[in-house]
């Protein structure tokens, strides 16, 4: 579905990622793992066009993304749910969700997508008239994932969805992501909770210093002594 080959990107003169090569297949869930500053969020920002690549190639469904603007990439069906639960606080839950379906391909099915989101996240249906800024952190996380689903994404990219959540809300969030994946949506997941991430995805890539240092099946990575020592405290 999406393939990155030798991708590099910089913030000004500072190189953030270099020679990133990875792929996500149709209907697959893939993880991006690594410590803070490893380049995980930067990789997602480069895919979504928020950061221009300086070398390499990104293709989605066979189409080169290098020349496309962020909104054009979104219209292809790539939804990016960024780190930090960026809701529109003075707008209601319902209005936040409607914004997610601004692309023409999604706007046509807005009503159906709203029904789907409210089915997956019944708490959002209960709070649809509530201002997003007055919701708890866990509820806001549901909202931003729901807003991503309003795009009718072929690929849903999630950046640290469990960050700052209580253990209970972390469990709920991962259950919902699993549910979304089972519906057939491809997932690219950035997550520092390595054990939880590897329980959800089929494969994962480990980044360090802006480069992929290893990749493999989830179970193989869980059993890898280097991964265990660096990320699992074993």
Mean pLDDT of the chain: 92
Q: How confident is the model at residue 169 (pLDDT cuts 50, 70, 90)?
A: confident
pLDDT of amino acid 206: 94
Q: Which distant-in-sequence residues (6+ apart) come within 8 Å of 94 by Cβ?
A: 114, 128, 129
Cβ of 104: how many Cβ atoms within 10 Å?
A: 8
Residue corresponding to tokens 């809300």? 169
Q: In this structure, what CATH number is given to the domain that contains residue 174?
A: 3.40.50.300
pLDDT above 60 for 191: yes
Cβ of 176: how many Cβ atoms within 10 Å?
A: 18
Distance CA 81, CA 117 (A): 15
Report CA-CA distances (Å) from 58 to 12, 70, 223.
Answer: 20, 13, 31
Distance CA 142, CA 146 (A): 6
Average pLDDT estimate for 209-225: 93
Side-by-side strand order, sheet with 2-11: 14-24, 2-11, 53-60, 63-64
Phi, psi dihedrals of residue 12, rounded to the nearest 5°: 65, -125
Q: Which distant-in-sequence residues (6+ apart) come within 8 Å of 17 by Cβ?
A: 7, 8, 9, 39, 42, 43, 46, 207, 210, 211
Count of structural domains within the chain = 1
Give 106-120 pLDDT, tens digit per residue. 889 999 999 999 999
Q: How confident is the model at residue 97 (pLDDT cuts 50, 70, 90)?
A: very high
Average pLDDT estimate for 49-76: 94
Give 130-157 pLDDT, tens digit per residue. 999 999 988 999 999 999 999 999 999 9
Q: Could you list the residue range(s) of the whole structural domain that residue 37 is in?
A: 2-232
DSSP 103: S
The three state secondary structure string of 60-99 is ECCEECCCCCHHHHHHCCEEEECCCCCCCCCCEHHHHHHH
Q: Does an H or E element contain 126, and which?
A: helix 122-126
pLDDT above 60 for 234: no
**Of 38, 33, 4, the residue nearest 211 (C-alpha):** 38
SS3 180: helix
Distance CA 30, CA 172 (A): 19
Instruction: Give this prediction's pTM.
Output: 0.91
Distance CA 8, CA 21 (A): 10
Residues facing 180 on adjacent strands = none
């Amino acid at each position: 579905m999406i393939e990155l080959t030798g991708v590099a990107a910089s913030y000004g003169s500072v190189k953030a990622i270099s020679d990133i090569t990875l792929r996500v297949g149709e209907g697959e869930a893939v993880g991006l793992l690594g410590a803070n500053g490893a380049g995980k969020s930067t990789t997602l920002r480069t895919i979504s066009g928020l950061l221009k690549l300086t070398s390499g190639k990104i293709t989605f469904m066979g189409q080169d993304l290098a020349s496309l603007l962020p909104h054009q990439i979104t219209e292809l069906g790539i939804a990016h749910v960024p780190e930090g639960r960026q809701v529109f606080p003075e707008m209601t839950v319902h209005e936040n969700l409607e914004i997610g379906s601004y692309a023409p391909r999604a706007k046509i099915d807005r009503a159906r997508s709203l029904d789907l989101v409210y089915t997956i996240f019944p708490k959002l249906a209960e709070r649809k008239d509530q201002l997003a800024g007055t919701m708890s952190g866990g509820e806001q996380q549901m909202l931003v994932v729901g807003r991503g689903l309003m795009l009718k994404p072929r690929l849903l990219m999630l950046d640290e969805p469990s960050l700052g959540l209580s253990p209970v809300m972390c469990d709920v969030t991962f259950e919902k992501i699993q549910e979304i994946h089972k519906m057939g949506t491809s997932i690219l997941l950035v997550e520092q909770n390595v054990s939880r991430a590897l329980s959800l995805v089929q494969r994962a890539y480990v980044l360090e210093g802006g480069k992929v240092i290893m990749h493999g099946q989830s179970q193989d990575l869980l059993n890898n002594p280097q991964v265990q020592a660096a990320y699992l405290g074993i």
